[in-house]
Copies of this chain bind each other. A is one copy, B any other.
Amino acid sequence: MAQVARVSKMTVSNVLNGKPNVKASTRQRVLSAVEATGYRANPVARALAGQRHRLLSLVARRSNLPYVTEVIRGASEAAEALEYDLVVLMVGQRQSSDLSLFLRLSQGAAFVHADAPGLGVPPGDLPLHCVTVDGPTHDSLRVDNLGGSRAATRHLLELGHTRIAFVSGLLALSPEASLGRSDAAERLRGYQDTLEEAGLTLPEAYLQHGDYSPESGERAARALLALPEPPTAIFAAGDAMAVAVIHAAQDLGRRVPTDLSVVGFDDLPFFRGVRPALTTVAQPLGSLGEEAVRHLARLAQGETPAALPPPLATTLVVRDSAAPPPPHQSIQTP
- Contact surface of A with B, Cβ cutoff 8 Å: 38, 40, 42-45, 47-48, 53-55, 62, 65-66, 69, 72-73, 76-77, 80, 85-90, 92, 94, 96-102, 104-105, 122-125, 243, 247, 250, 269-271, 273-275
Contact = CB atoms under 8 A, between A and B. Distances in A.
A43 B85 contact: no
Given A38-B122, A44-B104, A69-B65, A80 B98 contact: no
Contact of A273 (B38, B90, B101, B243): B243
Contacts of A53: 98, 101
16 contacts: A38-B122, A43-B100, A44-B48, A44-B101, A44-B105, A45-B48, A53-B98, A66-B69, A76-B90, A77-B92, A86-B89, A87-B87, A88-B89, A250-B275, A269-B270, A273-B273
Contacts of A274: 273-275
Contacts of A55: 98, 101
Given A55-B98, A94-B80, A40 B125 contact: yes
A264 to B, nearest CB: 11
A88 to B, nearest CB: 4
Contacts of A48: 42, 44-45, 48
Q: Secondary structure at chain A's binding surface: helix, strand, loop or mixed? A: helix
A85 B96 contact: yes
Nearest to A39: B124
B42 A44 contact: no
Nearest 9 interchain pairs by C-beta = A43-B101, A88-B88, A76-B90, A85-B98, A273-B274, A243-B273, A271-B273, A69-B69, A44-B47
A72 B270 CA distance: 17
Given A72-B90, A86-B90, A270-B270, 20 more contacts: A38-B123, A40-B100, A40-B122, A40-B125, A43-B98, A43-B100, A43-B101, A43-B104, A44-B48, A44-B101, A44-B104, A53-B101, A65-B69, A66-B269, A76-B92, A85-B89, A85-B96, A86-B89, A88-B88, A269-B270
A80, A104, A270, A273 — which one has the most chain B CB atoms within 10 A of its CB? A273
Contact of A62 (B45, B76, B269): B76
Nearest to A124: B38
B94 A105 contact: no
Given A43-B98, A44-B101, A69-B69, A87 B85 contact: no
Contacts of A271: 273
A134 to B, nearest CB: 18
A213 B269 CA distance: 14
A123 B38 CA distance: 9
A77 B61 CA distance: 12
A271 B72 CA distance: 20
Contacts of A247: 275
Contacts of A85: 89, 96-99
A199 to B, nearest CB: 36
Contacts of A86: 89-90
A39 to B, nearest CB: 8
A94 B85 CA distance: 11
